[in-house]
Amino acid sequence: MKFLYSDALLDMLVKHKVLSDKQRNFISLEKGKQRQKLLKQSTAPDPLDKNYPDLIDIIISLNLKKSGSQKESVDEETIMRAVGREFKLDFKKLDPLELDMDIVTKTIPKTYAISHFLLPFNVVEGILEVAVYHPDSHTVLADIEQANQIKTRPYIATKSEIKRILAEFFGFQTSISAAEDQMGMSQTGTSVDIGNLERYVKISAKDITSSDQHIKNAVNHIFNYALDQRASDIHIEPKRDVCMVRFRIDGVLHTIYKLPKVVHSAIVSRIKFLSRLDIAEKRRPQDGRIKIGVSGEKDIEIRVSTVPVSFGEKAVLRILDPEIIFQSVQQLGFSKRDFGIFKSFMYSPHGIFLVTGPTGSGKSTTLYSALKTIATPEMNLVTVEDPVEMVHEEFNQIAVQPLIDVTFSTILRNILRQDPDVIMIGEIRDFDTAAHAVQAAMTGHLVFSTLHTNDAISSIVRLRDLGLESFLIGSTLLGAMAQRLVKTICPDCSKPVKVEADMLYNMGFPVSGSDPITLRRGAGCRECRKTGYLGRSGIFEIFPLSSRLKEMIANGENTDEMRQVAIREGMTTLREDAWRKVKAGITTYEEALRVTGE
C-alpha cells in the first residue's frame, strides 16, 4: 500500500498541522462517497492517472481550510510540502522552461514515468534529480539507478505538475516522431538542415508550430551557423512572401536564407519561447535573452528583441560572445601613445572618463575590457546599464528599467551609498545622470560612461549642453575618447596594392610626395566569404584634460579651438589613427574613409 493512498497520510497531515483532528475524521467518513462523486463527474478516464481519484484528489476536492486558518485552503502544494517535510525530501516546483527535454524523455520509459508519477529533470554533478509524487518510491528509484548506472536524488512535487509536464514533453515527442516518419527521415536524429525544413513545409504547411522538432532544429541550425560565421547579429524578418534570415558579419548584413513564409511565426515563437518572452504578445516590442551552450565550450548569450512590422514580427538577435565583449585592452587596437593615456584613465583613483561614438562603435567592449582589466576581488565594481549587455560575475550589474521608474539617476543615487570603487554608467543622457556622475567623481569614485557625440572634444560641449557647470566639468573630467570600428583585412588573402598618392591626398589622408603608395587589400577567399575582410579593430581619438583645456572650458571657449589645442598637445584624430592602420596593412583606405568620413 502506498503511503499517499493510506489513512497514514491523514495522520501525517494532522501531525504537520495541515488538517485538524475533526477534518481528518470527516475525510475518513466521507472519502468513499466523495470518490464516487468525483468518478461520476469526470467524463472520461485519464490515461495519465489510472488511480484517479486518490486520497489527495479527494482531500483537495473537499475545499477544506487549513487547520486554524480562515483563508489558506488545503491544496495540492500544501499537502505535498507536508509530505516532503515528513519524508525529509525537498519540495520542487517544476518550471517547464528549466527542464531538459532529453533528460525528461530519454532517462526512463514513458509508461514507467506515467505509472509511477516520476519526472527526471536534471543531472547535477553526476546525480539524476527526479521529481516524485510518491515519497516511498525507493524501489522504483533503485531500478532507475540500476538501469541508467547513475545515482538519483528524489524531490517531492505535485502530481498535477508531473502529469502536465509528462504530457507536454512526451506528447510532443510523439508528434515529432510522426513528422519524421512522414518524411522518412527518422534515422537522421536531430540534424535537420534548412533544405529538409523546406521539404517538410511543402508536406505539412497547415499546422507548423514552434514546438515542432523541425522548427527547433532549424533554430538551432541558425544559431550554430551564425556562431560559425562569427555573426554579431541575426535578423529574422517577415516579408510578404518569405521569411528572411540575415546575419551581420563584421558590420555588414548578409542574406543567408529565404525560408518559406509559413515557418516564420513558428521560428519567431520558438525564439520567443527560448528567451522567455510572451509568445502570445505579438503587437508590442519585447526584449529577452537566451543562453546557449556551445558544445564543450563557453556559454554564449544572445540578446533577443522582437518588434511588430508590416508582415509580422521581426526578431533581432544579438550574439554576445564573451571573447569579443571582454577583449584584453591590448587587443582593442590602440597606438602606443593612446594606450598610455587610456591606461592612465583606467588606473585613476577618481574622475570621469567618457567614451563617445555612435551605436555599434565598440564603446561597450572598450569599457567592459577596461573594467575587466582593473577588477580585483577587493574592488566593488558596479555597472548601471540599459540593458545589461553581457553578464560578468565580477561586476555588480544593474539594469535600467524605465517602465517601473528605475532609471540611471535613481539607481546612481542608491548605489553611491554602497560605496562602489568604480562605476560604469551605460550612457549619460540627461542632466540628472550627468550630475550623479559628477557627484560620484567628486566623492572619490572612478566613473566610466559613454556619450553620443561624434568626436572626443565634443563631449565637453555635450556635458555643458546637458546643464553641467563648466567648473564641475573641469574638475572631474579625466579626458574623453572617440572610437569607431574598422573592418580588418583578411590575413588569408591580404595582398599589396599600389595606390596613387594624389588620390589619397584628395581624400584627406596625410600623404606627401607623388609616388604611388603600397597599401594592402584582401583579394577575397573562403575564409572571409569573399569580402576581403575578417574581424574588426578599433580606431581612437583620445585626449587627457590638460590644464590648458581646463582653462578653456572655464572660459567657455568653443569646440574647434579646444580641438586645435588637443591636437597640438598630441591627440591623433580618428582619421589619422585610421590612416595609421591603413599604412600598417591592418585595414584599407576605403574602410578608413567609410568610417571616418563625415
Residue 229 exposed, middle or buried by CB count within 10 Å (0-12, 13-18, 19+): middle
Q: Which residue type, as a one-letter code, is found at position 207?
A: D
Q: How far is the CB of 313 from Zn ion (least distance, A)?
A: 36
Is 525 near Zn ion (CB under 5 A)? yes
Report the residue number, 332 or 493, with the smaller CB distance to Zn ion: 493
Q: How far is the CB of 354 from Zn ion (least distance, A)?
A: 36
Is 528 near Zn ion (CB under 5 A)? yes
Q: How far is the CB of 484 from Zn ion (least distance, A)?
A: 22
Residue corresponding to grid cell 538551432: 220
Alpha carbon of 248 to those of 157, 230, 299: distances in Å? 45, 9, 20
How many residues belong to the site for Zn ion (CB under 5 A)? 7
DSSP 275-337: TT--SS--SS-EEEEEEEE-TTS-EEEEEEEEEEETTEEEEEEEEE-HHHHT--GGGG---HH
Report the residue number, 320 or 528, with the smaller CB distance to Zn ion: 528
Cell of 380: 566593488
Q: What is the DSSP letter of 407?
A: -
Q: Is 508 left (phi over 0), alpha (psi -120 to 50) or beta?
A: left
Report the residue number, 9 or 493, with the smaller CB distance to Zn ion: 493
Is 141 near Zn ion (CB under 5 A)? no
Report the residue number, 272 or 521, with the smaller CB distance to Zn ion: 521
Report the residue number, 228 or 393, with the smaller CB distance to Zn ion: 228
Region binding Zn ion by CB under 5 A among candidate stretches 113-121, 160-168, 204-212, 519-527 = 519-527
Report the residue number, 19 or 493, with the smaller CB distance to Zn ion: 493
Q: How far is the CB of 490 from Zn ion (least distance, A)?
A: 3
Backbone angles phi, psi at 297, to 5 degrees: -105, -165
From the centroid of its chain, how far is CA 64?
44
Is residue 23 helix, strand or coil? helix
Alpha helices in 499-573 (DSSP H): 501-506, 547-554, 559-568
Provide the mask over 343-382, with x wherever binding to Zn ion is found by CB under 5 A and - wherever it is not. ----------------------------------------
Segment 23-82, which members bind Zn ion (CB under 5 A)?
Answer: none
Region binding Zn ion by CB under 5 A among candidate stretches 20-28, 122-130, 525-533, 547-555 = 525-533
Q: How far is the CB of 253 from Zn ion (least distance, A)?
A: 19
Distance, CA of 58 to CA of 55 (rounded, Å): 5
Q: CA 436, 427, 536 angle in degrees (round to 5)?
A: 145
Distance, CA of 171 to CA of 555 (rounded, Å): 74
What is the strand order of the sheet 151-156 is part of? Answer: 118-124, 127-132, 151-156
Question: What count of Cα atoms within 13 Å lies in the side-chain half-sphere of residue 159?
Answer: 23
Q: How far is the CB of 495 from Zn ion (least distance, A)?
A: 10
Is 249 near Zn ion (CB under 5 A)? no
What is the strand order of the sheet 286-293 is part of? Answer: 252-260, 242-249, 231-238, 312-320, 299-309, 286-293
Report the residue number, 342 or 533, with the smaller CB distance to Zn ion: 533
> Measured at CB, which residue is nearest to Zn ion?
490
Distance, CA of 320 to CA of 227 (rounded, Å): 10
Region binding Zn ion by CB under 5 A among candidate stretches 132-140, 153-161, 514-522, 571-579 = 514-522
Candidates 72, 527, 551, 569; binder of Zn ion (CB under 5 A) is 527
Q: How far is the CB of 468 from Zn ion (least distance, A)?
A: 47
Region binding Zn ion by CB under 5 A among candidate stretches 1-9, 178-186, 515-523, 570-578 = 515-523
Report the residue number, 317 or 528, with the smaller CB distance to Zn ion: 528
Report the residue number, 183 or 525, with the smaller CB distance to Zn ion: 525
Report the residue number, 27 or 486, with the smaller CB distance to Zn ion: 486
Q: How far is the CB of 588 from Zn ion (least distance, A)?
A: 13
Q: How far is the CB of 485 from Zn ion (least distance, A)?
A: 18
Q: How far is the CB of 229 from Zn ion (least distance, A)?
A: 14
Q: How far is the CB of 324 from Zn ion (least distance, A)?
A: 19
Distance, CA of 116 to CA of 138 (rounded, Å): 11
Is 230 near Zn ion (CB under 5 A)? no
Q: Which residue type, as a one-letter code, is found at position 229?
A: Q
Q: How far is the CB of 250 from Zn ion (least distance, A)?
A: 11
Q: CA 506, 512, 513 angle in degrees (round to 5)?
A: 105
Report the residue number, 383 or 494, with the smaller CB distance to Zn ion: 494
Q: How far is the CB of 493 from Zn ion (least distance, A)?
A: 3
Report the residue number, 215 or 528, with the smaller CB distance to Zn ion: 528
Report the residue number, 502 or 527, with the smaller CB distance to Zn ion: 527
Distance, CA of 311 to CA of 537 (rounded, Å): 37
Provide the mask over 477-496, with x wherever binding to Zn ion is found by CB under 5 A and - wherever it is not. -------------x-xx---
Instruction: Answer yes or no: are the C-beta atoms of 486 and 454 closer than 8 Å.
Output: no
Q: How far is the CB of 486 from Zn ion (least distance, A)?
A: 16
Distance, CA of 36 to CA of 417 (rounded, Å): 64
Distance, CA of 501 to CA of 55 (rounded, Å): 91
Residue 329 exposed, middle or buried by CB count within 10 Å (0-12, 13-18, 19+): middle
Report the residue number, 289 or 487, with the smaller CB distance to Zn ion: 487
Region binding Zn ion by CB under 5 A among candidate stretches 26-34, 47-55, 299-307, 526-534 = 526-534
Residues engaged in binding Zn ion (CB under 5 A) = 490, 492-493, 522, 525, 527-528
